[in-house]
């Protein structure tokens, strides 16, 4: 099969043996695979932990083979999921990918090209909100709310009854999902604009833009801050705040709920720009550009 692999001038497509599903695993014929920041970091060898990982986490496609003991999924099922283990030398930026069945959910009735943007990024929002454990009526600041994680998080937070303050780069206010209570552009002094609206500061922060200290500055004393960059240092937990990082993991139960929300139109899927797998280097270059209004998706 063809698969993308790390290269010196960008990722390249090579021929590799087709992977076989072991017990408890499924092999997916890839219909679409999003390009996410973790893929760019892997290609650029930014983190030692990612150095030997294959490229591609998110996938939407069709089950084409199952390993022993898998009875929840069968060949022909439309599915989506994501890889949360680094050991496999190839990932979803390929024609076939093998995942643990527990990392995959049925996703019937969804356009795979748009659905491929959901698993990793919406699960991050879901599990991040679980970690923050805010109460209905509380206020959450979501930074990077024009991006993949931030948009899904904002929508999921609203569904949990939270009031959402969205922080975006100046000029990106039109890219936040509906229902956000306040949109703040991250011009100098922006945490004061949040505090002017929410006296004392917000109850929680999900820092999808990785802003660190300024985002923490908009948080009330004793509030909860969550980074989405578990491999980077955390900001200091000032004013009695709780500071932690989320690392999303595949959970078929969460993915199943996300599929239902997407089918019901309650989880808005981003517009996408698709690239053939043969143009993987161009896709990665596009995904690295700031201010993109679209997600980047590879189609084998």
Ligand X SMILES: NC(=O)c1ccc[n+]([C@@H]2O[C@H](COP(=O)([O-])OP(=O)(O)OC[C@H]3O[C@@H](n4cnc5c(N)ncnc54)[C@H](OP(=O)(O)O)[C@@H]3O)[C@@H](O)[C@H]2O)c1
Of 139 and 153, which has the nearer Cβ to ligand X? Answer: 153
Contact 179, 166 (CB under 8 A): no
Residue 167 binds ligand X (CB under 6 A): yes
| Nearest to ligand X of 106, 228 (CB atom) | 228
* Residues in contact with 28: Cβ distance below 8 Å, sequence separation at least 6, in sequence order: 59, 61, 62, 63, 64, 79, 81, 92, 96, 97, 98, 99, 104
- Alpha-carbon span 110 to 116, nearest angstrom: 10
CB of 76: closest distance to ligand X in angstroms?
29
CB of 282 to ligand X, least distance (A): 17
DSSP H or E segment with residue 216: helix 213-217
| One residue of 172, 182, 241, 250 binding ligand X per CB under 6 A | 172
- Total chain residues near ligand X (CB under 6 A): 31
Closer by beta carbon to ligand X, 199 or else 291:
291
Contact present, 33 and 281 (Cβ < 8 Å): no
Asked if 208 is part of the footprint of ligand X (rule: CB under 6 A), the reply reads yes
Q: Does 59 bind ligand X (CB under 6 A)?
A: no
Residues 4, 38, 243, 269: which binds ligand X (CB under 6 A)?
Answer: 38
Q: Please count the CA atoms within 13 angstroms of the CA of 152 that sit on its side-chain side.
A: 24
Per CB under 6 A, 226 contacts ligand X: no
Q: Which stretch binds ligand X (CB under 6 A): 88-96, 108-116, 131-139, 164-172?
A: 164-172
Q: Strands 182-185, 96-100: parallel, antiparallel or unpaired by DSSP?
A: unpaired
Told to check if 218 binds ligand X by CB under 6 A, we report no
What is the C-alpha to C-alpha distance for residues 254 and 246, in angstroms, rounded to an integer? 15
106 binds ligand X (CB under 6 A): no
Contact range with ligand X by CB under 6 A, out of 17-25, 42-50, 207-215, 259-267: 207-215
Cα torsion 255, 259, 265, 268: sign? positive
User: Tokens 């087709």 appear where?
Assistant: 18
**b vs e for 207-227, b when ≥16 Cβ sit within 10 Å of the residue's Cβ?**
bbbebbebbbbbbbeebbbbb
In the set 148, 252, 254, 272, which binds ligand X (CB under 6 A)? Answer: 148
- Burial (0-12, 13-18, 19+ Cβ within 10 Å), 231: middle
Which of 28, 50, 146, 272 is close enough to bind ligand X by CB under 6 A? 146
Q: Does 229 bind ligand X (CB under 6 A)?
A: yes
Could you say whether residue 149 binds ligand X (CB under 6 A)? yes
Residues 175-194 that bind ligand X (CB under 6 A): 186
Task: Look at the chain and count its residues.
Answer: 300
List binders of ligand X among 247-276 (CB under 6 A). 247-248
> Interface with ligand X includes 169 (CB under 6 A)?
yes
Binder of ligand X out of 96, 120, 283, 296 (CB under 6 A): 120
Question: Any contact of residue 118 with ligand X (CB under 6 A)?
Answer: no
Measured in degrees and rounded to the nearest 5, phi and psi for residue 162 equal: -85, 150
Q: Which residues bind ligand X (CB under 6 A)?
A: 36-38, 120-121, 124, 143-144, 146-150, 167-169, 172, 186, 208-211, 228-230, 246-248, 290-292
């Amino acid at each position: 099969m063809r698969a993308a692999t790390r290269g010196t001038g960008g990722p390249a497509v090579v021929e590799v043996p087709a992977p076989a599903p072991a017990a408890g695993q499924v092999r997916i014929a890839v219909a679409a695979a999003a390009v996410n920041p973790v893929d760019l970091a892997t290609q650029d060898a930014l983190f030692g932990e990612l150095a030997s990982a294959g490229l591609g986490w998110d996938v939407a496609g069709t089950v084409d083979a199952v390993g022993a003991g898998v009875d929840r999924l069968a060949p022909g099922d439309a599915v989506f999921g994501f890889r949360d283990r680094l050991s496999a030398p190839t990932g979803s930026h390929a024609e076939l990918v093998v995942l643990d069945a527990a990392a995959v959910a049925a996703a019937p009735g969804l356009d795979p090209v748009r659905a491929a943007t959901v698993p990793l990024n919406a699960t991050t929002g879901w599990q991040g909100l679980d970690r923050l454990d805010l109460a209905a009526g509380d206020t959450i600041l979501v930074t990077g709310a024009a991006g993949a994680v931030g948009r899904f998080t904002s929508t999921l937070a609203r569904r949990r009854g939270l009031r959402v303050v969205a922080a975006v780069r100046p000029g990106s206010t039109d890219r936040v999902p509906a229902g956000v209570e306040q949109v703040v552009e991250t011009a100098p002094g922006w945490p004061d604009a949040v505090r002017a609206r929410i006296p004392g500061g917000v109850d929680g922060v999900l820092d999808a833009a990785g802003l660190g200290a300024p985002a923490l500055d908009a948080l009330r004393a004793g509030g909860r801050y969550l980074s989405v960059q578990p491999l980077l240092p955390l900001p200091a937990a000032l004013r009695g705040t709780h500071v932690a990082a989320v690392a999303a993991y595949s959970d078929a139960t969460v993915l199943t709920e996300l599929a239902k929300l997407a089918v019901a139109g309650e989880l808005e899927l981003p517009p996408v720009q698709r690239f053939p797998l043969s143009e993987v280097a161009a896709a990665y270059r596009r995904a690295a550009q700031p201010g993109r209004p679209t997600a980047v998706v590879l189609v084998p």
